Structure 1
Amino acid sequence: MTSDHTAHPRIDQAGFDFLNSLKENNNRDWFNAHKTAYQKELDHIEIFAEALLAQLSAHDLIETPSGKKSLYRIYRDTRFSNDKTPYKTYWSGSFKRATKYRRGGYYFHIQPGNSFVSGGFWGPVPQDLKRIRDDISFDATPLRKILNNKSFISTFKTLKGEQLKTAPKGFDTAHEAIDLLRYKQFLLVRPFSDEEVLSNHFLKEVSQTFQEMRPFFDYMSEVLTTDTNGQAG
């Protein structure tokens, strides 16, 4: 942990170098021999995550108690995977919004050649998915207004996530909002190049990207936490 990282939280080339080396030597012997290097880079990521939480908390209420608590472990769960390599080759973390009235979550993923930040609804429970589809079916205008906003398009391009090939049960294939009704996941994703990740502006860009998700989150939160009369429930 260095004073430079504490004063100016950022991702540096050493973090990428460690991940690239781990990718080429994804075994316990190598990892144990390079535990000191791992701990050093983990400390830097924790500082970055703490700074990101501070920026995020300036414009949203977050339940995640610390940057350190936001991070996912580097150890892979290989029990049900054909890939038995023991370690992830990326840093990642997520922040949970506070109270049941703030829906959606924030995620960051730092990996050479595949860095991105995302947010939204990865696996809505059936009840939530039905409420979202019912609202879209009744009037898709509020959601389309968010998705067609210039700032949204420049940041995320389009809504992402798994979709049904046909209409969901109970909905007409000819519905004017069938393109939105087919979604099973509702995700906002912004990729970052390695150059962008390593720049001094990355922390600020991630925070601003999370802030750009808010209109979408506010819409979804209202749909999922109010009844047809607009009452909380």
Structure 2
Amino acid sequence: MNFKRLYQFLRKLQKNNNKTWMDNHRDEYHDVRDDLIEWFNQMDIKLAAVDPHYSPTTGKQAINRINNNLMYHPNKPIYKDHFGGGLDKEKKQSDFYMHFGVNETFVGGGFWHPSNKILKSIRAAIDYNGAEFKKILNKKNFKDTFGAMRAHDSLKTAPKGYAQDHEHIDLLRRKSFAVSHPFTQKETMASDFDDKVIAVYKEMLPFRRYLNQAVTV
């Protein structure tokens, strides 16, 4: 995968974020996109080899559209400033997401802005056995890799049905359960980048499995 070319294209797109420019550079866009799709295909094979419960996901299934959804966000630019995609895709299960952008590059996973039904299931699991979840979050290798869960708005009070003094109230108030590991653009261009992505995937597995079990049971 030629990540250098990917970032070069995104920087040009950021300076010329309009349909006319994109139409004139459509071939370049497709070359970069097809290259990334093939990289996702290769990562799909590599991740399946390290996780027996992995859900096969083709590169075309993985990659996200580069167009912003202007129906819901009319003030956003026409095109995103990044390429993104998710592997290990399974309906109603946690995400494993890769983001390659002008301003940030990261690998992340979990549930970001989940539905009320999924959020309710996660809170029920934490209420039942939040100690296990905290054990995962506080593991040294996990904290070294991800730090804390990604910050997002939380409830100011306890969710309905839970006491204010619940021992896991800090988790129960959360509206998202996701972690991420940043990469520099230079790191994505190194020969060991795929290995680093695999290492992040493996370190994230207990976190995602806890969440997946919470919304499955």
Higher normalized helix content (fraction of residues): 2
How many residue pairs get matched?
215
Picking from 137, 141, 146, the partner of 1:151 is 141
Cα offset, 1:30, TM superposition: 1.2
Contact 2:57–2:88 (8 Å) recurs in 1: no
Contact 2:48–2:55 (8 Å) recurs in 1: no
TM-score by length of 2: 0.89
Picking from 142, 148, 170, the partner of 2:161 is 170
Match of 2:100 in 1: 110
Structure 1 distance, partners of 2:67, 2:174, is 31
Paired letter, 2:121: R
Contact 1:53–1:66 (8 Å) recurs in 2: yes
Structure 2 distance, partners of 1:204, 1:176, is 38
**What root-mean-square deviation, in Å, do the aligned CA atoms of Structure 1 and Structure 2 show?**
2.0
- Structure 1 window deviating more from structure 2 (77-86 vs 65-74): it is 77-86
Contact 2:57–2:89 (8 Å) recurs in 1: no
Structure 2 distance, partners of 1:113, 1:99, is 29
- Structure 1 window deviating more from structure 2 (121-130 vs 104-113): it is 121-130
Deviations 1:154-210 (A, max 9, x none): 111112244212211121222221111111111011111122122222222122212
Structure 2 distance, partners of 1:99, 1:169, is 27
Following TM superposition, the consecutive aligned residue runs of length 4 or more in structure 1 with deviations greater than 6 angstroms are none
Match of 2:84 in 1: 92
Cα offset, 1:99, TM superposition: 7.5
Cα offset, 1:62, TM superposition: 4.1
Picking from 116, 120, 123, the partner of 1:130 is 120
Deviations 1:97-140 (A, max 9, x none): 4477xx31211110123111111112333333223222322332
Deviations 1:53-78 (A, max 9, x none): 11121133444541122101222221
Match of 1:141 in 2: 131
TM-score by length of 1: 0.83
Match of 2:15 in 1: 24
Identity of aligned residues (%): 33
Deviations 1:8-66 (A, max 9, x none): xx343221111000000111111111122212211221121111111121133444541
Structure 2 distance, partners of 1:97, 1:91, is 17
Q: What SS does structure 1 have at the residue aligned with 2:178?
A: strand
Structure 2 distance, partners of 1:154, 1:84, is 34
Picking from 25, 35, 60, the partner of 2:26 is 35
Match of 1:230 in 2: none
Is 1:58 the equivalent of 2:49? yes
Match of 2:74 in 1: 82
| Structure 2 segments unaligned to the other structure (5+ residues) | none
Cα offset, 1:148, TM superposition: 0.7
Larger radius of gyration: 1
Picking from 182, 189, 200, the partner of 2:180 is 189
Paired letter, 2:38: I
Distance 1:125 1:77, change over 3 A: closer
Paired letter, 1:193: T
Structure 1 distance, partners of 2:2, 2:179, is 22
- Structure 1 window deviating more from structure 2 (26-35 vs 194-203): it is 194-203
Paired letter, 2:80: K
